[in-house]
Amino acid sequence: MFDAVFFDMDGTLIDTARDFERAVNGLLAAEQLPLVSLDAIRSRVSHGARALVQLAYGLQEGDNHFAQRLEQLLSAYEQAISADSRLFDGMDQVLDLLDRQHQPWGVVTNKPARFADPIMTALQLDQRAVATICPDHVTLRKPDPEGLLMIAQMAKVDPRRCLYVGDHERDIAAGRNAGMQTACALFGYIDSHDQPDTWQADHLLHTALDLLPLIRKPS
């Protein structure tokens, strides 16, 4: 039984890949460069926008034009940031159950507030979540536990009685560092080279619905 449940955003709570695909391929098409598949983008989203620049242009951070390409991508993404972003299948049922049971939930993400907040608002999640903690609000990003400890304090819950759900090794590490139980979203943006079975998550989720028996209060 958990007093609160917290989520990573991209690849865990919300499927944002199609909006990244539109931004990346819109820029590539404008220059008649080869487009990138949705599957390739899904495998890199959790690594951030810099990884998408590397994927799309073959540039490494520090290369000429890398910073310019990064800003172009972020600008293009921001222009239609929530056009196709949506909750992962089954996640609406998870959030509804948490709300009915009066269990606080929220988001701790490495996505800057500039991008995270508009998505939460567009999906009408901002008023339901106890908070959305972004790098703007902390000194250290995940895997440091600062954001998770902050949101637990805001929710007035003991971190040891919380669950953190994520799709990246740093998410699981952050949850463990905060003293929380952890669940790995295998349905999220898992790279083909990732080995989530070695991340030491307490629970492995094949779909969002696998969360329901973990969070349901006994009748």
Mean pLDDT, residues 124-136 taken together: 97
Question: What digits encode the pLDDT tens for the residues 161-172?
Answer: 999 999 999 999
- Contact assessment for residue 48 and residue 110, using Cβ atoms and an 8 Å cutoff: yes
Mean pLDDT, residues 68-89 taken together: 95
CA-CA distance, 27 to 46, in Å (whole number)?
20
Q: What angle do CA 56, 194, 117 make, to 5 degrees?
A: 60
CA-to-CA dists, residue 94 to 11, 101, 161, 196, angstroms: 15, 11, 18, 22
Residue 54: pLDDT band (50, 70, 90) is very high
Going by C-alpha positions, the residue among 140, 162, 142, 143 that lies closest to residue 152 is: 162
Question: According to the model, what pLDDT value does residue 199 have?
Answer: 97
Question: What are the residue ranges of helices labelled H in 124-206?
Answer: 146-155, 169-177
CA-CA distance, 182 to 126, in Å (whole number)?
23
The Cβ-side half-sphere exposure at 52, using a 13 Å CA radius, reads 31
Q: List, in sequence order, every beta strand (DSSP E) within the chain.
A: 4-7, 14-15, 86-87, 105-108, 132-133, 162-166, 181-185, 203-205
Residue 193: pLDDT band (50, 70, 90) is confident
Catalytic hit among 10, 15, 167, 171 = 10
The Cβ-side half-sphere exposure at 120, using a 13 Å CA radius, reads 24
10 included as an active-site residue: yes
pTM: 0.94
Residue 1: pLDDT band (50, 70, 90) is confident
- Contact assessment for residue 79 and residue 14, using Cβ atoms and an 8 Å cutoff: no
The phi and psi torsions of 214 (rounded to 5 degrees) equal: -75, -30
- Contact assessment for residue 90 and residue 209, using Cβ atoms and an 8 Å cutoff: yes
- Biggest CA pair distance of the chain: 61
Catalytic hit among 8, 15, 19, 171 = 8
Question: What digits encode the pLDDT tens for the residues 15-38?
Answer: 999 999 999 999 999 999 999 999
Q: Please check the confidence at residue 59 and state whether its pLDDT lies above 80.
A: yes
Residue 148 or 80, more confident = 148
Residue 191: pLDDT band (50, 70, 90) is confident
